[in-house]
Amino acid sequence: MRITKEEFKQRLARKVRNYYEEEISEASNAELFAALSAIVRDGFAPQWRRTRISEKEQKQKQVYYFSIEFLPGTLLKSNLLNLGWLETVSEALEDLGLDLDTIATAEPDMALGNGGLGRLAAAFMDSLASTGYTGNGNGIRYKYGLFKQKFVNGYQKELPNDWLKSQDYWEVRRESKSVLVRFGGQVHMVDDNGWLVPQYEGEEVVRAVPYDIAIVGYQNGLTNTLRLWDAEIPPEGELNYPTIEDRRRIEDITSILYPDDSNYEGRLLRLKQEYFFTSAGLQSILNYYVKEIAKHDFSELPNYVAIHINDTHPALAVAEMMRLLVDKYRVSWDKAWNITVKTMSYTNHTIMQEALEKWEISMMSELLPRIMQIITEIDRRYVENLKNKVSDEVIERTRIIKDGKVRMAHLAIIGSHSINGVAELHTQLLETEVLKDFYNLYPERFNNKTNGITLRRWIQIANPDLSKLLDKTIGKEWRANSDEMLNFEKYLHNSETLNSLKKIKYDNKVKLAKLIKDRTGIIVDPKAIFDVQVKRLHAYKRQTLKLLHILHLYQDLKAGIDHPKRVVIFGAKAAPSYVFAKQVIKVINETANMINNDPDIHDKLKVIFLENYDVTLAEKIIPAADVSEQISTTTKEASGTSNMKLMANGALTVATMDGANIEIKDAVGEDNIFSFGLAKDEVYKYYASKSYHPRNLYENDAVMKRAVDSLIDGTIPNSNSEGQALFNNFLEDNEQFLVLADFSSYIKIQNKLEQAWAQERLWYQMSLVNIAHSERFDVDKTIKRYAKEIWHLNQLKIEKTK
Ligand code: Z16
């Protein structure tokens, strides 16, 4: 549905009058946002309804993406873009003396995720709709999103993120679709006409109420649904006279997002959350199937429904599906198992041991007695089936239950027909190292799906000037079809284009410099190299290596050795309980303070650690980056996705050959990336032979020693104990992230980068190549592979709106 400027202005005036009895000129920014978002909702409502009707008519197979995190950020501009209204609305507002970007600041950032995994889930939602598939999200409507980060004396402090305070403008509560989820109590199996069915006693009943969020496809008339569940007291009759305590316990289930990225916490409440949204989602899928598709013939289920398990948090879906099929719908175990495996697929996002979920049997039996029985039976049959086919060792290594614990990854693998990693190297490591027993058992289940990013958000919305340059050079087609971006490479020797690229980057840097000034009071020179590392704070991501480089540069400058001007920009939240990560934050903040205030340094080097890195802040930092730091210990970063966003915005990557960095290098060629560090085999050799002795490196390298010593010799003020902690960590025998092993290689590549920076034309040529080849990481390509190779979906036939 197209809109004209005049129509829009009329609608806006009407909304503001209806809602607030005001004229546009009197409305506050928050009021303007409320009115504008209402107009957008009215805009997609007809196509949301039409999509739902078409689904019922065409009965196409649908995917349900189960994820404990979704991290969409803000939706106003992305909905405007996807409706095809962005330009018109932006210009109309300008006519009225208003500014869309200002109005957009009133929208709270929907931070229902920690980092890469949650952001990927949100990108997949946007992409499923934009590529024309019917895909549904299934997750949790957390009352509090990921904490807001503040620095107090250089220490991280966490504040609650009360994003619903101002109401959510995009969600629709659908009480009629509520279901009940049961926890605890006792279960007895009783005979009912020859079928053993569970009888529950003393369990707690929770009402799951869905809130649906529209996911508007990119100018294609399709709108999908992201369904987030809220936990509430069940209606009268289910629970007699709930006390305040009962109410609190139930509402707690969807109260907070666990703030750990790639780290597992064995809390009961987390297990409750996992079962809550998994059970609610499956019940609502089966309700729909019974009503709209095939009554009680479940053998057809895999032809209509694909369920994706995003990491192991929703892995209970395997057992819950069995429970519903066997107990509720009375399908035989073998048939139900066959249906379950054909329906489920699973993505692994990490090889880090500490991230793997293992729930105590005792905890699971108490909270989910029937589910624990079912898992025990799945495990028993798994062992039984493999007896005499493979060695007992393989069975013990792969079975679900081991040492009193339920291994969730094993449940997901055994219960799914597809298991994928998120980058080529990661999948290869799953097959040959981490999951090699499973790979030998089920080689056909394993496949790779390299992650992607939505170029709609990261180029079209975040970098409008770059978008216009692409339009001008290669035409507008790239906005719908990213293959076209490869044509940008034809402009490699076009001076005008290279100059435009330089100007666009400079303008974006000026804007970011203003933000930095406003938030920190620090003035940075937009002509300096903007060197960016934005991601969660984690030892394996090695913000520490960047810190050592900063200390090295500082010491060089103090000693009269010159370097080009550089502004190092960090954005990173640490999990609140992650002590080492918080120590790193403190040391970086104190180092920044020291350098930024040292008159000898002037503005040769600045270190800026921006508070509260989230999607909204990413949209401001990434378009202004010259350098992208992707320096994880090789083998540890499953994929990474900030690497892709930065590349798409023309930043040059400094990269270890880890995760998707390898594929970035493949795409741009080795001359257009700065790669360094240990290779995968060298890392594994160190691990296998336990022969990494960082103290030897430190004693024999004066440059390294100088940088590392500055952590403990009083150079950096106010961080003695934290500096000492980092120092001890670096020098620990067999330190697992190999920071010092990569130090000199890192310094060398940074020197090479400085030389490239001095050759301006060359730099922007490299930048241009990176932009052109970011098409390889367009999430639409990733989603099409999932749709074709894992979910077996067909596109919904829907009329494109005029
Ligand atoms: C997460 O964000 C990731 C892995 C994980 O086990 C848990 C969480 Cl919350 C990240 C990976 O670290 C990152 O490499 C990857 O790009 C991202 O998931 C999406 O696949």
Ligand 1 center to 253 CA (angstroms): 23
Ligand 1 center to 113 CA (angstroms): 11
Atom of ligand 1 nearest to the CA of 641: 16
What is the pLDDT at residue 371? 98
Ligand 1 center to 156 CA (angstroms): 22
- Give the mutation target among 140, 257, 261, 264 for probing the ligand 1 site: most ligand atoms within 8 A of CB: 261
- Give the mutation target among 350, 573, 782 for probing the ligand 1 site: most ligand atoms within 8 A of CB: 350
Strands (E), 351-410: 358-360, 401-402, 405-407
Q: Decide: 327 and 200 in contact? Cβ < 8 Å.
A: no
- Give the mutation target among 270, 349, 642, 647 for probing the ligand 1 site: most ligand atoms within 8 A of CB: 349
Strands 627-630 and 529-534: parallel
Q: Token pair for residue 620?
A: 């401001």
Ligand 1 center to 536 CA (angstroms): 10
**Distance from C-alpha of 261 to C-alpha of 68, rounded to nearest angstrom:** 12
Q: Decide: 522 and 608 in contact? Cβ < 8 Å.
A: yes
Q: Is 130 in the pocket of ligand 1 (CB under 6 A)?
A: no
Q: Which helix (H) or strand (E) holds 754?
A: helix 743-758
Q: Is 122 in the pocket of ligand 1 (CB under 6 A)?
A: no
Ligand 1 center to 571 CA (angstroms): 17
What is the pLDDT at residue 239? 59
| Domain extent listing, the chain | 59-74+109-451, 498-778
Ligand 1 center to 118 CA (angstroms): 8
Q: Decide: 451 and 783 in contact? Cβ < 8 Å.
A: no
Q: Decide: 680 and 425 in contact? Cβ < 8 Å.
A: yes
Q: Do 59-74+109-451 and 498-778 fold alike per CATH?
A: yes
How is the chain split among helix, strand and coil, in percent rounded to 5? Answer: 55, 15, 30
Q: Is 421 in the pocket of ligand 1 (CB under 6 A)?
A: no
Largest CA distance in the chain: 89
Atom of ligand 1 nearest to the CA of 120: 19
What is the pLDDT at residue 295? 74
- What phi-psi label fits residue 602: left (phi over 0), alpha (psi between -120 and 50 degrees) or beta? left
Q: Is 639 in the pocket of ligand 1 (CB under 6 A)?
A: yes
What is the pLDDT at residue 238? 59
Beta-bridge mates of residue 347: 310, 420
Q: Is 311 in the pocket of ligand 1 (CB under 6 A)?
A: yes
Q: Token pair for residue 640?
A: 């990474």
**Distance from C-alpha of 312 to C-alpha of 265, rounded to nearest angstrom:** 13
| Inter-CA distances, 237 with 205, 208, 241, 412, Å | 11, 16, 9, 36
Atom of ligand 1 nearest to the CA of 311: 6
Ligand 1 center to 349 CA (angstroms): 5
Q: Decide: 137 and 87 in contact? Cβ < 8 Å.
A: no
- What phi-psi label fits residue 409: left (phi over 0), alpha (psi between -120 and 50 degrees) or beta? alpha
Q: Is 426 in the pocket of ligand 1 (CB under 6 A)?
A: no
**Distance from C-alpha of 686 to C-alpha of 736, rounded to nearest angstrom:** 9
Atom of ligand 1 nearest to the CA of 426: 14
Ligand 1 center to 436 CA (angstroms): 21
**Distance from C-alpha of 749 to C-alpha of 755, rounded to nearest angstrom:** 10
Q: Is 636 in the pocket of ligand 1 (CB under 6 A)?
A: no
Position 256: which residue type?
Answer: I
Q: Decide: 627 and 753 in contact? Cβ < 8 Å.
A: yes
Atom of ligand 1 nearest to the CA of 640: 16
C-alpha closest to that of 654 among 733, 738, 748, 573: 748
What is the pLDDT at residue 242? 81
What is the pLDDT at residue 273? 98
Q: Looking at domain 498-778, which CATH architecture does it have?
A: 3-Layer(aba) Sandwich (3.40)
| Inter-CA distances, 386 with 191, 390, 802, Å | 30, 6, 58
Could you tell me which residues come within 8 angstroms of residue 140 by beta carbon, excluding any fewer than 6 positions away?
68, 112, 228, 229, 254, 257, 273, 276, 277
- Grouping H, G, I as helix, E, B as strand and the rest as coil, residue 661 is helix
Q: Is 452 in the pocket of ligand 1 (CB under 6 A)?
A: no
- Which residue reads 């979704």 in tokens? 70
Q: Is 171 in the pocket of ligand 1 (CB under 6 A)?
A: no
Average pLDDT of the chain is 97
Atom of ligand 1 nearest to the CA of 660: 16
Ligand 1 center to 452 CA (angstroms): 13
Atom of ligand 1 nearest to the CA of 118: 2
User: For atom 5 of ligand 1, which residue has the closest CA?
Assistant: 262
Q: Decide: 749 and 675 in contact? Cβ < 8 Å.
A: yes
Atom of ligand 1 nearest to the CA of 119: 19
Ligand 1 center to 409 CA (angstroms): 15
C-alpha closest to that of 371 among 443, 432, 317: 317
Output the 3-class SS for 514-548. Answer: HHHHHHHCCCCCCCCEEEEEECCCCHHHCHHHHHH
Ligand 1 center to 114 CA (angstroms): 9
Q: Is 341 in the pocket of ligand 1 (CB under 6 A)?
A: no
Strands (E), 594-712: 605-610, 627-630, 652-656, 674-676
User: For atom 3 of ligand 1, which residue has the closest CA?
Assistant: 117
Q: Decide: 183 and 208 in contact? Cβ < 8 Å.
A: no
**Distance from C-alpha of 496 to C-alpha of 294, rounded to nearest angstrom:** 61
Could you tell me which residues come within 8 angstroms of residue 107 by beta carbon, excluding any fewer than 6 positions away?
33, 37, 74, 75, 76, 169
Could you tell me which residues come within 8 angstroms of residue 330 by beta carbon, excluding any fewer than 6 positions away?
195
Identify the burial level of 5 via C-beta atoms within 10 angstroms of its C-beta, where 0-12 means exposed, 13-18 middle and 19 or more buried. middle
Q: Is 302 in the pocket of ligand 1 (CB under 6 A)?
A: no
Residues of the chain with pLDDT under 70: 237-240, 801-802
What is the pLDDT at residue 138? 99
List, for residues 14-32, the tens digit of each pLDDT value.
999 999 999 999 999 999 9
Position 314: which residue type?
Answer: P
Q: Is 420 in the pocket of ligand 1 (CB under 6 A)?
A: no
Alpha-helical segments (H) within 613-660: 615-621, 642-648
Ligand 1 center to 714 CA (angstroms): 36
Q: Is 114 in the pocket of ligand 1 (CB under 6 A)?
A: yes
Q: Is 658 in the pocket of ligand 1 (CB under 6 A)?
A: no
- Give the mutation target among 117, 346, 633, 656 for probing the ligand 1 site: most ligand atoms within 8 A of CB: 117
Atom of ligand 1 nearest to the CA of 637: 14
CATH no. of 59-74+109-451: 3.40.50.2000
Residue 72: alpha-carbon gap to chain centroid: 9
Could you tell me which residues come within 8 angstroms of residue 161 by beta carbon, excluding any fewer than 6 positions away?
111, 144, 145, 146, 147, 148
Say if pTM beats, i.e. exceeds, 0.80: yes
- Give the mutation target among 258, 262, 424 for probing the ligand 1 site: most ligand atoms within 8 A of CB: 262
What is the pLDDT at residue 294? 83
Show which residues are catalytic: 349, 535-536, 541, 641, 645
Q: Is 357 in the pocket of ligand 1 (CB under 6 A)?
A: no
Q: How many residues does the chain have?
A: 802
Residue 296: phi and psi, rounded to 5, are -110, 20
Strands 62-66 and 179-183: unpaired
* Cα-trace Rg, the chain: 27
**Distance from C-alpha of 99 to C-alpha of 77, rounded to nearest angstrom:** 12
User: For atom 1 of ligand 1, which residue has the closest CA?
Assistant: 117
Position 225: which residue type?
Answer: T
Q: Is 659 in the pocket of ligand 1 (CB under 6 A)?
A: yes
Ligand 1 center to 369 CA (angstroms): 31
User: For atom 7 of ligand 1, which residue has the closest CA?
Assistant: 262
**Distance from C-alpha of 673 to C-alpha of 692, rounded to nearest angstrom:** 28
What is the pLDDT at residue 88? 98
Spell out a b/e string for 271-283, using b for 16 or more CB atoms within 10 Å of the CB, else e: bbbbbbbbbbbbb
| Inter-CA distances, 118 with 68, 397, 430, 462, 654, Å | 8, 30, 21, 19, 25
Residue-by-residue DSSP string for 442-488: -GGGEEE----B-HIIIIIIT-HHHHHHHHHHH-GGGGT-GGGGGGG
What is the pLDDT at residue 167? 80
